[in-house]
A and B are shown apart, each in its own frame.
Chain A
Amino acid sequence: MEPLDEELTQAELELPADPMIVNMGPAHPAMHGTVRTVVELTGEVIVKADVQVGYLHRGFEKMCERGTWTQVYPYVDRCNYISPMLNNVGFSLACEKMLGIEVPERCQWYRMALGELARLSDHLTCDGAMAMELGAFTPFLWMIKAREMIWDIMEEETGARLTHSFGRVGGMAAPPTEGFKETTRATVDQILKVIEEVERLLLGNRIFLDRLEGVGVVPADEAISLGWTGPCLRASGVPYDIRKAHPYLRYGDVEFDVPVGQTGDCFDRFMVRIEELKQCARIIEQCLTRMPDSGPVNVDDPRVVLPPKNDVYTTIEGTIRHFKIVMEGLKIPAGETYAYTEAGNGELGFYLVSDGSGTPYRVRIRPPCFLTTSGLERVITGLMVADVVPCFGSLNMIGGECDR
């Protein structure tokens, strides 16, 4: 067959190949969280990407310098708002490191159990959202329902579903409730069933696998250089988990495995989280078995812990102690420290500087997902536009934590 228009040369028939700038976000339905990605496209391939964060910046580090040490808790709650308990525990441990105190055994197990429940909620949300953004809506709903069960426990224990502000320097705001162990065991069993069902739904799904496998590969050396920690680093094959490498609380006494990925693609990041869910369940079971049913939760240290309410109302010493801690704030000796814990997204570090007054001089929060998000640019360059969605989802960027 002859060409329709013989005068046109081949070069003229080609589509214009000028790069096109596409702006994804800050509010994009397939990108949870407020982040703006400006991508330069040639055809469908991303040749250049600029990831812009900061849309959720609320100046927490500045605000922390205006109150007492205890008044920092509501801010750390709102950093990673899908696993706030881990932030609470991390900040408590940082303050306690500066004070040189250790909480009683019961509190340590309690913190671990609540923290692992928060980690369950974190990973369930991440994996669920990732599936949803790729079109699998059912697993998302099931996982969010499972998360809801965790938040029911949290509500029972702390009084708040989401922003608990439950940690305290030197203990917790309240001891475990009576039914804590029983409810948690029942809930974790149900969550494990949900995970099994989700695995059956997704891992046999060709479309889901094709969009994840081999997409967004990050080799180990690059992940290390980018400062990645947590599930994203482990997916690249580096078995760095602070709970194993530098055990805090009682993590040295419990048995659990650290899942690692092989290639560091989106699928590995998804699967590392799925495996960690199961490990969380193991840790929770051990915490519940070993947590004493009675005993103090707070340290016996009048400098930092509020006196029992009855003493406040009946004795002058109690009243004064209460007044001093609430009005002046607990005093942390002058100095500096860097304390780190394994949060949902990796190493959550607190670099605290105290001048010895009741107000923090500087609270630096080292957000794990600030650094994972900084790698997004590198991950998506060279991929197609559609690959941005699974790559971004697998990094689990939490706006509150990234922007603070």
Chain B
Amino acid sequence: MAKALVELLKQSFPAAVLETHAQHGDETLVLDPASWHEVAAFLKSSPAADMNMLMDLTAVDFPDREPRFEIVAHFYSLAKGHRLRLKARVGDPEGKHVRIASLTDLWGSANWMERECWDMFGVVFEGHPDLRRILLYPEFEGHPLRKDYAADKIQPLVEYRDVPATDKVAPFRSDEGMSFGRQTHDHVPSADAPDPEIFPEPAN
């Protein structure tokens, strides 16, 4: 169904398409990030593709790879009923220079999804009119869905209460409550560990 479309893109952008696969029936193209916007615009305008919906846009973090982030977009054509996944790999292992072109001028849905992607992964979408945090608060530091952001790290906007007579004051500290330690994450740098001055080790 979308196979013909993959061939078409390969022919139209021979330099931009780095690899393709169709795992579980999802046709996927990995693109050169420089041609991200160009290919997306082609998908929207070309009558053979007719992708009038940008269904989903997100990122995946692979800290061991170079480039580190995969930007993943899913397109859908209402008229033709076919789907396509585009991917582009950006960013260096330190998580810097994560930049890609914004698709906000082509689809309205890109606006919030790119803001979320910036919020969660720190991907800078060049040309986005309003790249603010969306799910987190402006004072938040870091990008939580990166693998090197510790899952139990906390950044309270309001400091925890210090009530000596009560031994349990919600919200709990990071070392209390349910332990999420199923998997060790080697990527967590020590700088992300709780500040010992704010959260001293429990004395026991």
Q: Which of A's residues lie within 8 Å of B, judged by CB?
A: 52-54, 57, 59, 61-63, 65-68, 97-98, 100, 222, 224-227, 238, 240, 245-246, 335-338, 340, 347, 349, 351, 353, 359, 361-362, 364, 366, 370-371, 373-375, 378, 403-404
- Tell me which residues across on chain B come within 8 A of A66, comparing CB atoms: 151, 180, 182-183
Query: Does B35 belong to the interface (CB within 8 Å)?
Result: no
Chain A proximity of B2: nearest CB distance (Å) = 12
Chain B's closest residue to A350 (CB) is: B56
CB-defined contacts of A374 to chain B, threshold 8 Å: 108-109, 111-112
Q: Which residues of B contact A (CB under 8 A)?
A: 23-24, 26, 28, 52-56, 58, 60-61, 72, 74, 78, 81, 83, 85, 107-109, 111-113, 116, 120, 133-137, 144-145, 149, 151, 180, 182-183
A246 to B83, CA, bound (A): 11
> Is B182's CB under 8 angstroms from A227's CB?
no
- Cα–Cα, bound, A362→B78 (Å): 27
Q: How far is the CB of A370 from chain B (nearest CB, A)?
A: 6
CA distance A62 to B53 in the complex (A): 27
B180: which A residues are within 8 A, CB to CB? 63, 66-67
Complex Cα gap A338–B109 (Å)? 18
Interface centre among A222, A240, A373 (most CB of B within 10 A): A240
Residue of A nearest to B74 (CB): A338
Known A225-B109, A335-B24: A53·B134 in contact at CB below 8 Å: yes
Judge whether B136 and A57 touch: CB under 8 Å: yes
Nearest CB of chain B from residue A360's CB, rounded to whole Å = 11
Cα A322 to Cα B145 with chains together (Å): 31
Contact in complex: B81, A351 (CB < 8 Å): no
| Contact indicator B53/A227 (Cβ below 8 Å) | yes
From the candidates A68, A224, A351, name the one contacting B78 in the complex (CB within 8 A): A224
Question: Is A364 a contact of B109 with CB atoms below 8 Å?
Answer: no
Q: Nearest Cβ distance between residue B9 and chain A, in whole angstroms? A: 18
User: What's the dominant secondary structure at chain A's contact region?
Assistant: mixed
CB pair B56 A349 closer than 8 Å? yes
Q: Which residues of B contact A349 (CB under 8 A)?
A: 55-56, 74
A-B contact pairs, 16 of them (CB 8 A): A54-B134, A66-B151, A224-B53, A224-B78, A225-B52, A226-B109, A227-B108, A335-B23, A336-B23, A336-B26, A337-B24, A351-B74, A359-B182, A359-B183, A374-B108, A374-B112
Contacts A240-B78, A338-B56, A366-B55 given; 10 further ones with Cβ under 8 A?
Answer: A54-B133, A67-B182, A224-B78, A227-B55, A238-B78, A335-B23, A351-B56, A351-B72, A359-B183, A366-B74
Q: How far is the CB of B7 from chain A (nearest CB, A)?
A: 21
Q: Is the CB of B74 within 8 A of A53?
A: no
Residue from A61, A337, A371 in contact with B112 in the complex, judged by beta carbons closer than 8 Å:
A371
Q: Across the interface, which residues of A come within 8 angstroms of B133, CB to CB?
A: 54
Complex-state Cα separation, A378 to B58, whole angstroms: 23
- A227:B54 contact, CB within 8 angstroms: yes
Interchain nearest-CB distance for A187 vs B (Å): 34
- List the 6 shortest-distance A-B pairs measured between CB atoms, nearest first: A227-B109, A54-B135, A374-B112, A226-B108, A225-B108, A57-B135
Given the complex, which residues of A lie within 8 Å of B23, measured CB to CB? 335-337
Query: B135 CB to closest chain A CB, in angstroms?
Result: 4
In whole angstroms, how far apart are the Cα atoms of A98 and B56 in the complex?
19
Q: Is the CB of A371 within 8 A of B135?
A: no
What distance in Å separates the Cβ of A337 from its nearest Cβ neighbour in chain B? 4
Distance in angstroms from B53 CB to nearest chain A CB is 6
- Distance A100 CA – B25 CA, assembled complex (angstroms): 11
Q: Of B60, B107, B137, which is within 8 A of A227 by CB?
A: B107
Chain A residues in 8 Å Cβ range of B24: 97-98, 100, 335-337
Q: Which residues of A contact B149 (CB under 8 A)?
A: 62
Q: Closest B-chain residue to A57, C-beta based?
A: B135
Task: Give the complex CA separation of A394 and B53 in angstroms.
Answer: 22
